[in-house]
Structure 1
Amino acid sequence: MAKKMHLAWFMNFTPDEWRAPFGQGGYPWDGRFYIEMAQTLERACFDYIMIEDKLMVPQTYGGSRDFALKNAMMVPKHDPAPLATAMGMATSRLGVVATMSTMAYPPFLLARLCSTIDSLTRGRFGWNIVTSAEDLAAKNFNMEKLPLRETRYEMAEEYMEVVNKLFDSWDKDAVVLDREKGIYVDPTKVRTIDHVGKHYQVRGPLNTVPSPQHRPIYVQAGASPRGRDFAARFADSIISVASGVAEMKAFRDDIRARADKAGRDPDEIKVLFCITPTLGETEFEAQEKYKRLVSSDYFITDTLASISAITEIDFSKFDLDKPLPEKLVTNGESGSLDKFQQWGSGKTLRELVVSGGGGLVSSVELIGTPDQVAERMGEVMEEVGGDGFLVTTPVLRVSRRYLTEVADGLVPALQKRGLARTAYSHELLRDNLREF
């Protein structure tokens, strides 16, 4: 019997595919386009939709903000939390995950917000945990630059300790609603946390009622050894961009080993790998579509601007038709940089952009008809061992056409092979993730 895979969608609250047909037209700010997207993905029985976020206007590529603003590259970018709430209130089973930075939110504020949204979405909220990776973002929060990566993870570990204490500051049955005795909350079931640590001092208790999940699901994308330890310790779902099937399997095996070492059940952590499938009615049509994409005027510059923004390395200064002059390092998103630069491959910068089969967010090449791609996805999961895929587009811009191709083409092909769910079995996001 085929083993089912989990499916999620990766997006951000930025303009849709505004330069091509079948988009919203580049002005999705009332949220309706993305709410309709969530409803479509729920119809396709996706586990969750995750909204990425950044807290700055990029200005690394070309040394100015001009390219990012002219091309809507990572800006404008609106706040994911209100959109996640709207999506959740317009659906009944799909999980909604918002990215929020430990740098930007004090622990109490974040825990309160997560608890509120989880209640509003009836137990389907998730928090994508990030520490932020750009000095430009740090400058918006009373800092000159980010702490070193190791320090950020040290702070994040204490941060998680605090928010978990806050979620536990109310017993699940603290709200008694005893009208006869006139008691709304049993005071004996609410307590302070009195946390005093190296980086945070928080008294508590939280001032929200326990939400349906008690805490949101935690999503994380740690790639470095320290990041993997963090994810294995805290995450319910881990997202990753790998370079091929062997690397996907190695990553998942490593995460499961780290989870076991941390005293967790590895099966409680669902690892989802980013993919950018290119679909067509025939294999030839799909291949031609892919060729048009990677040869378009904006694909290479958009990809380089994106990697520049998240690493704060200006890739416009490198010759497109020569290999990178040296192995690059960053205090930003090091995993994304290592995946992109493929150090030692000898590829030119242009080849690095094109060879990923989907920009910075593709783990394995998937080009063909829905049946061909579904078959390949099943083969990949069989070899990797699980747990599923995070679907997106090369530079995260989405059109109605692409959404339809996935929801009404690829997903039915997966379902008829027994590889994807055809209905939700549970109301809570955590329960749907742990179903298989």
Structure 2
Amino acid sequence: MRRRLIQSTLAVVLVVIAVFGVSLVIVETRTISSSAQESVDNEAVRIGSIVDSRLLGGENITPGMLADQISKDRYARVDIPGHPPVQFGDHPTGSVIRGKATGEQGEKVVVEERRSSVTREVGRTLLIIGGVALLAVIAAVLLAVRQANKLASPLTDLAETAERLGSGDPRPRHKRYSVPELDRVADVLDSSAERIARMLTAERRLAADASHQLRTPLTALSMRLEEISATDDLDTVKEEATIALTQVERLTDVVERLLTNARDPRTGSAVAFDIDEVVKQQLEEWRSAYRSAGRAIVCSGRNGMRAVGTPGAVAQVLAALIENSLMHGGGTVALRTRVTGNQSVIEVTDEGPGVPADLGARIFERSISGRNSTGIGLAVARDLAEADGGRLELLQQHPPVFALFLSREARTRKAPHTSRGDDGGDRPVR
């Protein structure tokens, strides 16, 4: 491209020089020739005037008398009636420029000059014009090289940017070149890079969310299948198979939810549902895992609560909180349901050490974890809650209290609070 720009610029300059240079040479040649002819004619008239004045004064005309009156390198001859011709200067040979004049006394004056002097003057003029043309060509080449570099270098940068995008490096360069057309291309490439970066981020996030969200139902399904394979009781097999089918349905719901959030995180299928059913399902699912860990999971609070949301998403949020308590907490895990204003609240707490002080404000950020885990679970849980118009908050760090806030159904049936045990502890719901 650089070579083409230089060649095209140089061609334009040469054409301009050829057109205007030839015209200038012709004009200058004619001007110099005309000036030389006019100078010789004026010289002849001037000498004729001098001769007239001398003749009127009665003087004899001699070559010495007029030798100082003629320009150097010129020849003059004066023909006076009744007198011999008077000549002074060297008689030129070859092509000459001749000027003639006739005086008032009848004398005739002829002045001659070699045409080579005019040719030398024309040569000097052509040399000057040629030098100017050469300088113009050099300046044009330098300007063409500079302009070619100014245009070619940005194109090279843009090509490298496009290549980087194609190779999977979507970092925008935000580099501009003070050329509107090239800056427009750079804007488009940077916008494309940002879109590709968002798409790659969304894909990585979907992959991370999927691996985390599918782990729990797959583990539960595996446990049910192990129970089926380890028993010969037909009733137990049927019961475990029914639970396994429920896990498969939940797994399908998780996949659909992940795909929906990948397309539009704010797209939900909120409906009115019974919170008791979701809580009961989570208790049944996690009871065996807590029993294996030598711990308990209980629930208390208000019964018969209804909320607006996606049951599958709420189940995933509670599963993330319960799993987080199982992995990082200690003692008994308690789920408590209550009502505050026009919201239904599900709290999850345990008797563990709680959330470190330095992580309290960032506990819901991705990749934030105090126990070398993935740091994805709570971030996904908050996204799921917000997608249904709810919110997930950390109400207390020691002991940890996580609360899921959901909008209440317009009309809810009131139910009494669960009774307390004699020892003041919460009594697990059935």
TM-score (norm 2): 0.20
Task: Using CA pairs under 8 Å that are at least 6 residues apart, name the structure with larger relative contact order, 1 or 2.
Answer: 1
TM-score (norm 1): 0.20
Bigger proportion of residues as helix: 2
